[in-house]
Copies of this chain bind each other. A is one copy, B any other.
Amino acid sequence: MAKEKVCILGSGNWGSAIARIAALNVKKHSDTFEEEITMYVHEEEVDGKPLSSIINEKHENIKYLSGVQLGSNVKAEPDPIKAIKGATALIIVIPHQFVEKILEGMKEHLSPGVRAVSLIKGVKAEGDKIHTYPGIISSLLGIRCSALGGANIATEVAQDQFCESTLGIPPEGMKSDDKNSLSDADLWFKLFDTPTFRIRIVPDVDGVALCGGLKNVIALAAGFSDGLGWGSNTKSAIIRIGIMEIKDFCVHFFPKVKAETFLEESCGLADILTSCISGRNRKVAENMVKTGKGFQELEKEELGGQSLQGPQTTEQLHKFLDARRDEVRRSNGFPLIENVWKICYEGMPPEKLIEGL
């Protein structure tokens, strides 16, 4: 069996944390993987030097995950086409707004039999269609794409604190049809599972991608509740209603998605919980209520110009629901998603969050 060659596309805080885990596991499973991992790094100058050179010298991403050794077998590469050369296993962890730009034109440079796993949060709505990133990657590159998600704050993962993660595999990747290669499930499990980073596998790639994509809508709602000084009963009710609504949305519009992924897995229940307790979408939403400022203004003040996922996702969902309004009218609708959108974009008073729930 030829060895698998791993490439990580992306080098932010989560990309770096997962590079560290992959770098340990390729050494552990040296019969399965080539030892060297390449990591595509969007080049920038840090302290007057290119970030990729710093990573290759210090084995540390001093800008996005400082203080953490990535492993000397991680090689940073600023050219994405060079980075994927020879790779058979692509870990894609690029901010969602850059995915198409970076992957475009990559198809002809791919190795035969290459597979991908997406760690990207978010969904993309276009008119009356809605897409997950594993779906977008699959169709852009013409390859099979899995998804990884979970309650996985990068800095805690980098410190080997115990946590869980969910691996969503397309049904056809659960078992290998070729005796000479690993199934997708076996490949990604071997690459990611450690004693403190526990992987559970579900045959539901879209479900895993959607959980991470949609959770921040609930986190905004939880933040509004906190900002209003509402108590623990109310916040718990909002989280429960949010989980059920997101689950219903996904099961309705992606009929192959499994409800259990939302209700029972780390990428669902546990990640939503973390985001509603300590995520930054929650925090900004709380401050929207307390200060009366809009999220755009707070993004600038609190996130140094970085953008929040929650409002964007809410906007995507709203546009999609509008395009499918006739269909939505026939169901109970999605009042929590719609109320969060109205508070973010229409100036609805946050006190009305629970109206129609």
A residues neighboring B (CB under 8 Å): 150-153, 156-157, 161-164, 198, 230-234, 236-237, 239-241, 243-244, 263-266, 269-271, 273-274, 277-278, 354
Residues in B with CB closer than 8 Å to A157 are 233
Residues in B with CB closer than 8 Å to A234 are 156, 161-163
Cβ-defined contact, B162 with A236, below 8 A: no
Residues in B with CB closer than 8 Å to A198 are 237
Using known A-B contacts A157-B233, A231-B156, A263-B264, determine if residue A273 contacts B239 with beta carbons closer than 8 Å: yes
Cβ-defined contact, B237 with A151, below 8 A: yes
Nearest 5 A-B pairs (CB), nearest first?
A163-B233, A151-B236, A236-B270, A156-B231, A240-B270
Residues in B with CB closer than 8 Å to A354 are 162
In the assembly, what is the distance between CA of A239 and CA of B151, in Å? 11
The 23 listed contacts between A and B (C-beta, < 8 Å) are: A150-B233, A151-B233, A153-B231, A156-B232, A156-B234, A161-B231, A161-B233, A161-B234, A162-B230, A162-B234, A162-B237, A163-B233, A163-B234, A164-B241, A232-B277, A232-B278, A236-B266, A236-B270, A236-B274, A239-B270, A240-B265, A243-B269, A263-B263
Partner of A269, one of B162, B240, B278: B240
Cβ-defined contact, B277 with A237, below 8 A: no
Cβ-defined contact, A237 with B266, below 8 A: yes
Residues in B with CB closer than 8 Å to A232 are 151, 153, 156, 274, 277-278
Cβ-defined contact, B231 with A244, below 8 A: no
